[in-house]
Structure 1
Amino acid sequence: MTTRERSEPAINAAERPMLEGWLDYHRDTLALKCAGLTDAHLREASVPPSELSLLGLVRHMAEVERGWFREVLAGEDVKAIYGTDEDRDGEFHLTEADTWEKDAAIWQAEIARARENTANIGLDALSVGRSRSGEQFNLRWIYTHMIEEYARHNGHADLVREKIDGSTGD
């Protein structure tokens, strides 16, 4: 795995570039937390009985990207990548067959699709999908939620990475 670069978000950008900058920053942060590790390390669980691992987090974020930007925002009829009716948290249940190469490619494909689905709409554009109470989400809300989702899970990734090899940092 190669080391990735991460750009700091602009401190004086307009709203949309600011939101997209922070989202990309957090996407890159998760990739950096995984950089330089073997597949075995990436599958390593944090603290038993938890199954939380860096690869599981990447797979989870692929599901989250798909859910918000394809299913909710665009109304695409997509199925879960890893989860099933019997195993709703399938992204966290790893086997020896699960690899960084395969799962990182899926994650990056979902990010690319998210960018395609947002490229030509404004922040006030409403989602096709609705909340449990029947309300539509605007793109601004989805971006903000995704930044929060990545930030929370990047905190988990910090702890998992430190357990694996002692690496710390933002």
Structure 2
Amino acid sequence: MTLQFPSPTVPAAGRTEVFLRYLDYFRESVVAKVSALTEDDVRRSALPSGWTPLELVKHLRYVELRWIEWGFQGRDVGDPWGDRRDDRWYVAPEETREDLLAALRAQGRHTRAVVEGSELSAIGAPGERWDGADPASLERVLFHLVQEYARHVGHLDIVAELAGGPVGE
């Protein structure tokens, strides 16, 4: 699935729709770019920092899990830091591109359902996610998710280009 960039000139029913359009667009951009790379390229790092495209996919899935389910909803998610090992992103050898992309899309469907069923002004449930601070509103969580995706899609743009994959939006 290819989504058009959510241009500011395209009318939206409200801020909720704008957030969801951007999140869907960025998520599908990640899926498209990672799907276009070779198996070697998704498991190999092209950068001094050492992360791989598959690690980025898993990280983004867990970012949504941490902020929406563990944070905003206050749900027990088992290991909210399951994308990390030894203080860096981690993908086990048996984890496949298809499974990780499916998990990212499933997390996105969950995020969409939560956002569509909530007011942007709703305050997250108290819990460990907030590190002792007052929980944030859904709107603040969504701003965070949009910036997280935008930043990481930019990183992935560079890695995909270095690998000879798709470039640009």
Shorter-chain TM-score range? 0.7 to 0.9
Give the structure 2 partner of residue 41 of structure 1: 41
TM-score (norm 2): 0.85
Runs (4+) of structure 1 moved beyond 6 Å? none
Read off the aligned partner of 1:99 and give its amino acid letter: T
Unaligned runs of 5+ in 1: none
Give the deviation of 1:117 after TM superposition. Answer: 2.3
The residue number in structure 1 matching 2:23 is 23
- Quick check: 139-148 or 26-35, which moved more? 26-35
Q: 1:111 matched to which residue of 2?
A: 108
SS at match of 2:156: helix
1:144 positional shift:
0.9
Q: What's the offset of the Cα at 1:35?
A: 2.5
CA deviation profile, 1:11-43 (whole Å, cap 9, x unmatched): 332211112111111111211221322322211
Residue in 1 that maps onto 2:125: 128
Task: Go from structure 1 to structure 2 and tell me whether the alpha carbon gap of 1:163 and 1:95 turns closer, same or farther (over 3 Å shift).
Answer: farther
Corresponding residue for 1:141? 140
Between the aligned partners of 2:30 and 2:83, the Cα distance in structure 1 is: 21
2:57–2:104 contact (8 Å) kept in structure 1: yes
Contact 2:59 2:83 in 1 (8 A): no
Structure 1 distance, partners of 2:138, 2:144, is: 10
The answer to whether the 8 Å contact 1:71/1:129 transfers is no
For 1:76-96, what per-residue CA distance to the aligned partner results, in whole angstroms no more than 9, with x for missing partners? Answer: 011236346x6343xx33454
- SS of equivalent residue, structure 1 residue 128: coil
SS at match of 2:36: coil
> Percent of aligned pairs with the same residue?
27
Q: How many residues align?
A: 163
- Does structure 1 conserve the Cα–Cα contact (< 8 Å) formed by 2:20 and 2:112? no
Deviation at 1:120, TM superposition (A): 1.4
**1:101 maps to what in 2?**
98
TM-score between the two structures when normalised by the length of structure 1: 0.85
Distance 1:53 1:167, change over 3 A: same
Cα RMSD between the aligned structures? 2.0
Give, in angstroms, the shift of residue 63 of structure 1. Answer: 0.6
Contact map agreement 1:51 1:93 (CA 8 A) in 2: no
Counterpart amino acid of residue 39 in structure 2: D
Where in structure 2 are there 5+ consecutive unaligned residues?
Answer: none
